[in-house]
Structure 1
Amino acid sequence: MKGLRFGSKIVFVINSLVAFLLLISYILPYVSPRSFASLSVLSLGVPLLILANIVFFIYWLLRVKKQMLLSLIVLLLGWNYINSMYKFSASEDTKDEASFSVMSFNVRLFNKYDWLKDKTVKETILDFIKKEQPDILCLQEYPRSERVKLEGYNDFNATYNKDVKGGQAIYSKFPIINSGSLEFPNTYNNAIFVDIVKQKDTIRVYTFHLQSSGIETDVEKLKKETSSHLFKQVGATFKAQQDQVELFLKHKSKTKYKTIVTGDFNNTPYSYIYRMVKGNDLKDTFEAAGNGFGRTYDFKFFPMRIDFILADEDFTVNGFKTFDVKLSDHYPIKTTLSLQ
């Protein structure tokens, strides 16, 4: 740091810490929350760390200082992370007779407890779905007490099903020949699945809502939380998510069908949980054909993508869209797929 003024030295020290944290975050997808719960919490802050390192790089670049190399090198080492956070171009959405669309949306109980001031949220959501007409629709935080019947769709778990928790529902314009639920223990969360028939193909579709951390999105409420409590709370959540994902993977391993996985993961693309679900046989449809930040959750501090549609490698991703509609604390996402 020779040749730097005192103020610039302080900036570089902070820069070094932020760069180190981002570098550490690159190993988080391989670190089990069950083993290092506190460390895994860092995965939630990866978008902020990336943005901070970009700012530091620009800061030193404008001053023509070699210190810019620190953040530049760390960012280049994690180029896949940047590509996962922001897509610079989108594939043109194409649809033909062989393709079909899949939408996933956490509807937040159709605003049952008036989180949004608009009293017509449920009706607006239904109008939105009718306009978009996805061939397969997966809903999370769906209240079965307010059953929704969609014309032209078959459905599973849209009404009372014995021994199946509420919260998730799947609608399909294609015939449903099999369905079921994976009941996660000690929680209201679960995963459901359907097997649908499209022409000569049978496709397995999962949707789930993994354990929520319960972190406040309101700035003033968040300020009242202690850092130790937040780390403990989120760490416990990630451990529960790992248990839930292991149950899901055990179930998924028994199917012979090409698979689509949708839902609210309550975790980011930089996490162990996401890497477990995605595995080596699924691809992220946003990464394949998305655009921009792909924000799916209304978090005030930085764009968070915690809702996903993952598709078997045998599918071609023809398009992806995140809808900027304020009808929940989540934003709906839709992809167009076809079988190769």
Structure 2
Amino acid sequence: MKIFRLIVLIIHLGILFLLLGTLLNAYVPPKIFPWFNLLSLGFPVLIILYLILTIFWIFSWKKRAFVFMFAGLAFINPVKRWVNYSDQKGTTEIKVVSFNTRAGGRGNKEIAPYLKSQHADVFLLQEDVGNEYQFEGYQKANPGGGLTILTRHKIIKQQIIDPQDEEVRIPGLLADIQIKGRTYRFIDVYLNPFRFDKEMVKLNGNTDANEQKIKDVIKRLIPTFKKHQEQVDLIHEAIENSPYPVILAGDFNSVPNSYEYYHLSDGLEDTFLTAGKGSATSFHDYKFPIRIDYVFSSKSLKAISYKVDRSVSISDHYPVIVKFSSGNK
């Protein structure tokens, strides 16, 4: 039994160090050491294993349980970025919908009626390849690059966030929009996708084939992480230079606790932490829980409602709907 507990202790310590590695994404960029960013993909599994082993020590009546419980406090906020409960109240001033339409819906006729039914103040769309969504009473910011902003308010400025690098896609589109006498900067984000298909990440009984699949996946992940770093820098510059409160939304192709999450949220608030209830999982093409769609805002704004709309499956992403209240915090 002592040997078994020793093995469990070693495994538990190993998981703890891996989890701590995900926190280093706030400080270490992918171009220097991309492996911390890779760890963030496995955060849900790691934290579940950590909790199970902590419970094991509790029932074993071992003092080390208190050590692991105390260390686990470091992961409260990282966990809340995936699953949260917050109750907010206020009068809705701005309704925002962020939605990756999956290559413009690929001819899906349900997307346009769904968007119209939301009566949002601002839509931030990603993968809007067809550029087909134009509603009566709405203005459009759409310079290409698969990004579209629709609003029923006045657009006073629009601009692509240009990477000046052919290998790095356009990461964002900004639009300064005047709503009820106040101007806001909306930034629609779509970071480089990894372009996986299900067969690439589906393991089988063949050890050699699985090993090759893992190598192929990592070969795609690491270069994309490095491209994301360049894109994040450009988007962050657009945020810092904004003379107006910012609402940043879109498909980051990055999970919580990643380098992208930490640095895009720098100076902003994750509206899911402020007003979210339940799970923030937004990408449903795989069974594994993945949150890659976000809405961040300046601290002068107050989110009162955050919803991942799972009532529709018209894309491989669920729409994210956030309402902001009138008045400052």
Matched, 1:213 2:194: yes
1:231 is aligned to 218
Cα deviation, 1:121-159, whole Å, max 9, x if unaligned, reads: 722222222222211110101113x512222211111xx
Instruction: Choose the corresponding residue for 1:95, options 75, 91, 97.
Output: 91
Displacement of 1:82 = 1.8
How high is the TM-score relative to the length of structure 2?
Answer: 0.88
Write out per-residue CA displacement over residues 88-109 of structure 1, whole angstroms, 9 at most, x where no aligned residue: x23256434xx11111011102
Q: Structure 1, residues 38-65: CA drift from partner, whole Å, max 9, x if none?
A: 3321121112211221122223333433
Report the CA distance between 1:270 and its aligned residue.
0.5
Aligned to 1:86: 83
**Higher deviation after alignment, 212-221 or 172-181:** 212-221
The equivalent residue for 2:253 is 266
Query: 2:58 is paired with a residue of what secondary structure?
Result: helix
CA distance in 2, matches of 1:93, 1:136: 21
8 Å Cα contact 1:104/1:309 also seen in 2: yes
| Structure 2 CA distance for aligned equivalents of residues 218 and 13 of structure 1 | 34
**C-alpha deviations, 1:180-216, integer Å up to 9, x for none?**
1123322444311111111221111010100122344
Residue 301 of structure 1: how far off its partner (Å)? 5.2
- For the residues of structure 1 that align with 2:256 and 2:198, how far apart are their CA atoms? 19
How far off its partner does 1:328 sit? 1.5
Q: Which amino acid aligns with 2:153?
A: F
| Partner SS, residue 315 of structure 1 | coil
Evaluate the alpha carbon distance shift between residue 111 and residue 309 of structure 1 in structure 2; reply closer, same or farther with a 3 A threshold: same
Select the residue among 135, 138, 142 that pairs with 1:153: 138
Mapping 1:183-332, distance limit 5 Å:
183-184=162-163, 185=165, 186-218=167-199, 221=202, 224=210, 225-280=212-267, 282-298=268-284, 300=286, 302-324=288-310, 325-332=312-319
The answer for the alignment partner of 1:41 in structure 2 is: 38
Distance 1:71 1:49, change over 3 A: farther
Distance in structure 2 (CA, Å) of the matches to 1:236 and 1:313: 33
Amino acid at match of 1:25: T
Q: Is the 8 Å Cα contact of residues 156 and 170 (structure 1) preserved in structure 2?
A: yes
| Pairing 1:22–2:9 present | no
Two-structure CA RMSD over aligned residues (Å): 2.2
Cα deviation, residue 67, structure 1: 4.3
CA contact (8 A) 1:108 1:142 kept: yes
User: Out of 53, 56, 60, which is 2:53 matched to?
Assistant: 56
Alignment of 1:171-190 (within 5 A): 171-184=150-163, 185=165, 186-190=167-171
Greater CA drift, 221-230 or 256-265: 221-230
Take 2:46 and 2:202, find their aligned partners in 1: how far apart are those partners?
A: 23
Shift of 1:86: 1.4
Offset of residue 33 of structure 1: 0.6
Listed as ranges, the gaps of 5+ residues in structure 1 are: 113-120, 158-163
Corresponding position of 1:118: none
Give the distance between the partners of 1:77 and 1:221, measured in 2 at CA: 32
In 1, Cα distance between equivalents of 2:55 and 2:197: 32
Unaligned runs of 5+ residues in structure 2 are: 205-209
TM-score of the pair, normalised by structure 1? 0.85
- The answer for the alignment partner of 2:108 in structure 1 is 122
Q: Name the structure 2 match of 1:169.
A: 148
Q: Is the 1:295–1:304 contact (alpha carbons within 8 Å) kept by the matching residues of 2?
A: yes
- Letter paired with 1:191: G
- Checking the alignment, whether the CA contact within 8 Å between 1:165 and 1:190 is kept in structure 2 is no
CA contact (8 A) 2:161 2:170 kept: no
Structure 2 vs 1, CA of residues 290 and 180 (structure 1 numbering), >3 Å: closer, same or farther?
A: same
C-alpha distance in 1 between matches for 2:172 and 2:23: 28
Match of 2:129 in 1: 143
Q: What is the letter of the counterpart of residue 273 of structure 1?
A: E
